[in-house]
Copies of this chain bind each other. A is one copy, B any other.
Amino acid sequence: MNMRKIITVAALLLVTGAGAFAQQALWGGQQIISPEINADNSVTFRFVAPKAIKVQVTGDFLPTTPMKMGDFSFDAPGMADLKEGQNGVWEYTTEPLESELYSYSFIVDGLSVKDPNNAYLQRDIASQTNYFIIGGGKADDYKVQDVPHGTVSRVWYHSDVLGKDRRMSVYTPAGYEDGKTKYPVLYLLHGMGGDEEAWLCTGRAAQVMDNLIASGRAKPMIVVMTNGNTLHQAAPGEDASGMYKPYNCGSFDTSFEAHFKDVISFVDSHYRTIKKSSARAIAGLSMGGGHSYQISLNYPKTFDYVGLFSAGIGIRQGDDSGYIAPDFYKNTYEKLDVLFANQPKLYYIAIGETDFLYKANEELRNHLDEKNYPYVYVETPGGHIWRNWRIYLVDFAQRLFK
């Protein structure tokens, strides 16, 4: 067989390896590039749809419209029209974009469609969206760079409290496997509907840690990403119950917080950790911020670093409606007194200006101010979005274990 024939066979291997669907893509369609990041950081989207009447793109790089539904404000996504050119290829080019990770979808005659020329998707809860990264600024930390990389493992542990096996993601820093060093641990928790993949996928945690550690901005550390939905063992598709649809899933019933001792015990017995509060941090976004708040309060002298990112901390010691919080959620202010008596090295609160949890966090800040408890506060534009949580992780990680 000669080289040309090898290449032909290779092309066939390719086509058939890809199954029936790729055949269409390779033989029926046009090979186009989308998205194309141009030299000035504008981005061109292309979509083949010879029969379409209207093709639009929606994504978080387009100007949004502020909306309100009752108490709840959010930014409605922008849309832009693609123009039809030759051979049914529709096209739209953005303005030059700031460095960021952006996600988008096409809308073809009202139908939401992924970009078939960008096979890379990130899942957030039940939605898969295409994404791309504009470098040259803060999003360089979200990119895979040619630096030493940590190992990312999906690991199963047993929880006695929950009576089941569960899955976590663990990042160990570059060099972990080659040495005897013990490392501090950051426990990093996701929001409602998320799972043990969320911080890795949409949060870019492995890339962020690789880049911060390689540049000396963060200390080498282990990052443990749990699954905050105790009804399940693992992310949908990785759970023995099958491919459940991740909507209303999350645990607000103390079960996640109560089982967290099983998490710490597993990590401390399976990894080379420094088993001291000064080498443990806990942080989370939204529901995971609530979990971090409760866990740090209920596990005294366990974490010297606490990060509340857009945290769901509204659950208090009982309230006007007759609702009685379970013990785990009770007496939070008294527990805060204990926590601050131990002089944590960092109590970190971060939230977006338009976040619907702003008030609950403001209330906590007011209480800390009254008590003269020291904390770091970061406020960013925008609301309850991953863009902010990536920013908080980059900032928070640099403040740890120093």
Contact = CB atoms under 8 A, between A and B. Distances in A.
Interface of A: 1-6, 9-26, 33, 49, 51-52, 58, 60, 64, 72, 74-77, 103, 105, 108-114, 116-121, 123-129, 132-133, 143-146, 148-156, 165, 167, 174, 177-178, 191-194, 233-234, 236-240, 242-243, 245-248, 250, 252, 270, 285-287, 312, 314-316, 319-323, 356-357, 383-386
Contacts of A4: 321
Nearest to A118: B243
Given A238-B144, A316-B1, A127 B18 contact: yes
Contact of A156 (B145, B151, B245): B151
B245 A119 contact: yes
Contacts of A77: 20-21, 23
A24 B112 contact: yes
24 contacts: A1-B315, A2-B323, A6-B252, A12-B356, A13-B287, A13-B312, A14-B247, A14-B250, A16-B383, A16-B385, A17-B191, A19-B124, A20-B75, A20-B77, A22-B124, A113-B113, A114-B128, A119-B127, A119-B246, A121-B121, A132-B243, A143-B240, A151-B155, A156-B174
Copies, count: 2
A19 B129 contact: yes
A149 B167 contact: yes
Given A1-B315, A21-B77, A119-B236, 9 more contacts: A10-B248, A14-B247, A18-B127, A19-B127, A51-B110, A114-B114, A119-B245, A146-B240, A151-B154
